[in-house]
A and B are shown apart, each in its own frame.
Chain A
Amino acid sequence: GEDVEQSLFLSVREGDSSVINCTYTDSSSTYLYWYKQEPGAGLQLLTYIFSNMDMKQDQRLTVLLNKKDKHLSLRIADTQTGDSAIYFCAESENNDMRFGAGTRLTVKP
């Protein structure tokens, strides 16, 4: 089946940039998403990108898409302790959505 893969853990120091990477296999993906999940909570949509774009910036968040390599990344600038959470990459074609396993971001003071 189609897969979405991301590394499980990332640890950074407060103030540094965080880069969370994701790869996917479905070449017909139309949307790619980044979701944030804080402990005990549901998913919060952080940002999404259309497959015909290669970059999207929203305040401290930068999404880069390399469609040829099927690689998606999320950069968080000036990472804060409040950014500690699990970040899920997801891709979809129409409404059929597939998630990665999530990357647990730990921000150290």
Chain B
Amino acid sequence: GAVVSQHPSWVICKSGTSVKIECRSLDFQATTMFWYRQFPKQSLMLMATSNEGSKATYEQGVEKDKFLINHASLTLSTLTVTSAHPEDSSFYICSATGFGANVLTFGAGSRLTVL
């Protein structure tokens, strides 16, 4: 079946630094990828939708200059949290769909802790 890999699983960084999270579709072409954020004990919040080769569409309230999303190929999307602060600490999950994937497939998530 369709597999989505996220890397890194865990990342700890200092306040003010930037962190990149990768989301890869391993066995299908992901025409569309989604990025979600999950706060403790809360549901997922969609941050943005990215279509391969296009600019990402951000949900209301999500700063596009803060959360840079790149989807330059059919197998890779990246989320860069720029100038991270402790309030950006969260669990970030990507999902993907496209050719060869019948349903939305999720990555395992990346836990970001900003000190």
Residues on A facing B (Cβ under 8 Å): 31, 33, 35, 40-45, 48, 88, 92, 95, 97, 99-102
Q: Is B35 positioned at the interface, with any CB of A under 8 Å from its CB?
A: no
Min CB distance B79 to A, Å, is: 14
A101 to B40, CA, bound (A): 11
Q: Is the CB of A31 within 8 A of B43?
A: no
Q: Which B residues from 91 to 112 make CB contacts under 8 A with A?
A: 93, 95, 97, 103-109, 111
Closest to B92 in A: A42
A45 touching B43 by the CB < 8 A rule? no
| Interface of B, helix, strand, loop or mixed by DSSP | strand
Chain B residues within 8 Å of A33, by CB: 103-104
In angstroms, Cα B107 to Cα A99, docked, is: 16
Cα of A99 to Cα of B105 in the assembled complex, Å: 14
Contact, CB under 8 Å: A45 / B97: no
Assess the A102–B105 pair: CB atoms within 8 A.
no
CB of A58 to closest CB in B, whole Å: 14
